[in-house]
Structure 1
Amino acid sequence: MTKTKLKEIGNKIFKLYFSIGVAALALLAILVCFSVIMRYFFSKSWKELSEFNVTLFAFTTFWGMGINVIKNEHVLIDILYNAFRPGIKRIVRMLNLSIMLLIDIIFTVQGFRYVAMAGRQLSMGMEIPMKYMYGIMPLSGILCAVCILIRLLESFLPRETAAEE
């Protein structure tokens, strides 16, 4: 498989990943507006909807981790980094991504542990097992790890094909 074909497949997968996040965020915005209007104008509120909104907010937050890595939109203090020569930047970028991967692995393992511990409880609003709500943590951790590994692999490629920082 050629690099171009591989990159094309990767772009399609990322577009799907990104689209899921956008759809979830759009749904969240619509539901929050709906619940605010219903509460303030009609004195109606639903615990199920409130809990779903909180869950959807958590989903969009955790889902965005990998997107931020791929798009290079994560928090970065780069005043010193920008002063480095390209070769040093590459090493620093690889070190940074390795630390991010380590933290993400810890997050994912702890997410699985938390789901195993608290996942059997029923939620108070929607009355579903909490594993469906908490499961986004390890799932997003795995997706983020894949995104970090992609960025790490890009760092090993020759400069003209690697993602510029």
Structure 2
Amino acid sequence: MKQEKPGTFLSACLNTGAIVTLTLMVTIVTAQVVMRYVFHHSLSWAEEAARFLLVWVAFLGTIIGLQRKEHISVDAFVSMLPHTIRGVVTAISIVITALFWTFLGWGGLGLWRSAADQVSPAMQLPMSWVYAIIPISGLVLLLISLDHLRQLFRPKGK
């Protein structure tokens, strides 16, 4: 059921971003463990950096999962419905999901704006950089959901 074009630019950027973010997070956490237990000295910024990277990798993973249609779903009820009704129920599900992404993006935009003057305690990083992923992912997830809806109603063979 995967309908993603594997060579698309968006897919490549998302996959690369997720890999780089996760690798960076693992490297920072590993360095923190080594510093703490081997050298008895902690990196003051490591926990904060790992937490921020975790937020970013979670949102990037959500986008990748939705794009590939790999999010968990319970389709036992839907699969028992007649084919025509199944399409309608699927469309309703996609619309509800798209509304959720809209609210996520809108709320994230408000959070991003409110954090414009805040900085993180350890790294002195603008918190708007950390929160930027929320409205960005809300928009991308909404666009992916709308594309799924378009694919649902596209005539077969096109």
Normalised TM-score (structure 1): 0.83
Cα deviation, residue 11, structure 1: 2.6
* 1:13 counterpart residue number: 10
The residue aligned with 2:88 is 91
Q: Which residue of structure 1 lines up, in the alignment, with residue 72 of structure 2?
A: 75
* In structure 1, distance between residues paired with 2:31 and 2:100: 37
Gaps of 5+ in 1: 1-6
Rounded to whole Å, the distance in 1 between the matches of 2:47 and 2:129 is 16
Q: Deviations over 1:65-98 (max 9, x none)?
A: 2211111122312221221233222222211111
Is the helix fraction higher in 1 or 2? Answer: 1
Residue of structure 2 in register with 1:108 after alignment: 105
| Residues 67 and 60 of structure 1, relative CA distance in 2, 3 Å threshold | same
1:108 deviates by 0.7
SS for the counterpart of 1:17 is helix
Matched residue, 2:132: 135
Go from structure 1 to structure 2 and tell me whether the alpha carbon gap of 1:90 and 1:11 turns closer, same or farther (over 3 Å shift).
farther
Counterpart position of 2:48: 51
Deviation at 1:149, TM superposition (A): 1.5
Please provide the CA RMSD for this pair: 2.1
Q: Give the TM-score normalised by structure 2.
A: 0.87
Runs of 4+ in 1 over 4 A off after TM superposition: 7-10
Contact 2:102 / 2:142 at 8 angstroms: preserved in 1?
yes
Aligned residues between the structures = 155
- Per-residue CA deviation, residues 78-121 of structure 1 (Å, 9 max, x unaligned), is 22122123322222221111101101111111111111112311
Once the two structures are TM-superposed, the CA of residue 10 in structure 1 deviates from its matched residue by 7.0
SS of equivalent residue, structure 1 residue 47: coil
- Contact (CA 8 Å) 1:108, 1:137: kept in 2 or not? yes
> CA 1:63 to 1:39, structure 2 compared with 1: closer, same or farther past 3 Å?
same
